[in-house]
Structure 1
Amino acid sequence: MTQDEGPTGSREKILAAAAAMLAEDVTARLSVRAVAARAGVSTGSLRFHFPTQRELKDAVLARIYTHVFPDDPIHDRSLAPRDRLVTCLRQVLAPAGVGEQARQAWTLAHQRYIASDPTNEVRTEYLAIERGGWQRIEHWLSVLADEGALPAEDHARRIKFLLTVLNGLSIERALPAEDSILKTETETLYLAVDAVLAP
């Protein structure tokens, strides 16, 4: 192991600095200059380890999510990629609950973010929540892209689509339903995941 690869090497300093920046502000942009300055390394060193901002961002998110969610189902290769992604998306929906719990959650969200013109503070709060969800899905898609389950291109359209599906399903959990919510939700999640993974 070279000095640069060790725990105090420049690659580690860069990853630690970028992770700290995101921990302080989930909406942080992670510009090359800002991360290099925070890590105490040159921009050339940063570019050596991470030729693109995308590679830096993917590495930081992988590190964060591996630490925060060590048992993330996206890493369970005993399951097909589509099953893993559906399981991950279902985890996002789980805290919303069903029925009365979901209604209460949406009532609070409506009061906080929709009912009145949001202040800058409320807008920032909501965008941080949205960015956190975006980054989590981006991490899952990056893992699958690394495995070759989908193209390793910018995933913005896929992420936006999945977030829209999740928002719709969470609202549906709060509404009266005739059919089994679990059954229709599962069908919808698989349709969405199949669309995202389609070549």
Structure 2
Amino acid sequence: MEERDRENLSSRDKVLLAAMELFGEEPGTRLSVRAVASRAGVSTGSLRYHFPTQRELQDEVLTRIYDLVVPDDRIHDTSAPARDRLVDCLRQVLAGSGVGAQARANLRKVVEEFIAPEPTDDGRAAYLAIEREGRRRVEYWLTVLTNEGALAEGDNTRRARFLLTVVNGLGLERALPAEDSILQSETDTLYAAVDCVLSS
């Protein structure tokens, strides 16, 4: 975005843009209020006015990133079978983990931010915001399929957790050496997981 376009943004939008840029540069990182305010060119007081807690800022940023990176359009395309649509949506989530060196770098960042250090309140809140937004998105997709009759009524929160556990495992596999085609293995695993959910 050009500098003059930034000037026309509201202070709230400047904060969101800065936070999304920082998150995009280092996925999985905790958003520092000072770093975001500095990047946005606003005071920390202005940032706190729009987002009283770090959690509110993280939730809003993640919602917007998921809206851009993982659009819901595909789940509404009833010309395709429900299982294909759900697999495609999950594949978009998985795409964010990268492949090979990028997947290893992203995994290393997650380990450094959330696993290696002793958990802090900020670290826990940052991780839970990421996890909550991912689960919310998958629950939405499952609700769409339930409403159209492709999925029986049931506990979509539990189903979403299961599907995200599968996606997380596949993301880890992307960072590890593989003997076979990762794409084929991922596709088989995603379809198996989706079939399990759709038949429940």
TM-score of the pair, normalised by structure 2: 0.65
Mapped to 2, the partners of 1:67 and 1:185 lie a distance apart of 23
Matched-pair contact (CA < 8 Å) for 1:98–1:174: yes
Amino acid at match of 2:133: G
Shift of 1:25: 6.5
Q: Which residue of 1 aligns with 2:124?
A: 123
2:89 aligned partner, one-letter code: C
Question: TM-score normalised to the size of structure 1?
Answer: 0.66
Deviations 1:15-36 (A, max 9, x none): xxxxxxxx94777xxxxxxxxx
Displacement of 1:76 after TM fit? 0.8
The reply on whether 1:90 has 2:91 as its aligned counterpart is: yes
The alpha-carbon distance between structure 1 residues 25 and 138, as it changes in their structure 2 partners (threshold 3 A), is: farther
How many residue pairs align between the two structures? 143
Q: Which runs of 4+ in 1 moved over 4 A?
A: 65-71
Contact kept? 2:58, 2:126, Cα under 8 Å: no
Deviation at 1:68, TM superposition (A): 8.9
1:175 and 1:66, CA in 2 relative to 1: closer, same or farther beyond 3 A?
Answer: closer
Structure 2 gaps of 5+ residues are 1-54
Give 3-state SS (helix, strand or coil) of 1:96's partner: coil
2:139, 2:156 within 8 Å by CA — same for their partners in 1?
Answer: yes
> Cα 1:102–1:68, aligned 2, differ >3 Å: closer, same or farther?
closer
Matched residues in 1 for 2:108 and 2:153: separation? 38
Instruction: Output one character per residue of 1:144-195: Cα deviation in whole Å (capped at 9) or x when no partner.
Output: 0001111223212211110110110000000000100000000000000000
Q: How does 1:153-164 map to 2 (within 5 A)?
A: 153-164=154-165
Q: Residues 72 and 88 of structure 1 are in contact (CA less than 8 Å); yes or no, is this contact kept in structure 2?
A: no
The residue that corresponds to 1:105 in the other structure is 106
CA distance 1:133–1:69, change in 2 (3 Å): closer
Does residue 196 of structure 1 match 2:197?
yes
CA deviation string 1:14-67 (max 9, x = no partner): xxxxxxxxx94777xxxxxxxxxxxxxxxxxxxxxxxxxxxxxxxxx9xxx889
* Matched position secondary structure for 1:152: coil
> Do 1:26 and 1:132's aligned partners in 2 also have CA atoms closer than 8 Å?
no
**Could you tell me whether the CA contact under 8 Å between 2:69 and 2:92 is conserved in 1?**
no
For the 8 Å contact 2:82–2:145, the answer to whether it is kept is yes
Is the contact between residue 66 and residue 72 of structure 1 (CA under 8 Å) also seen in structure 2? no
Question: What's the C-alpha RMSD, in Å, of the aligned pairs?
Answer: 2.6
Fraction of identical pairs, as percent: 58
8 Å CA contact retained: 1:26, 1:131: no
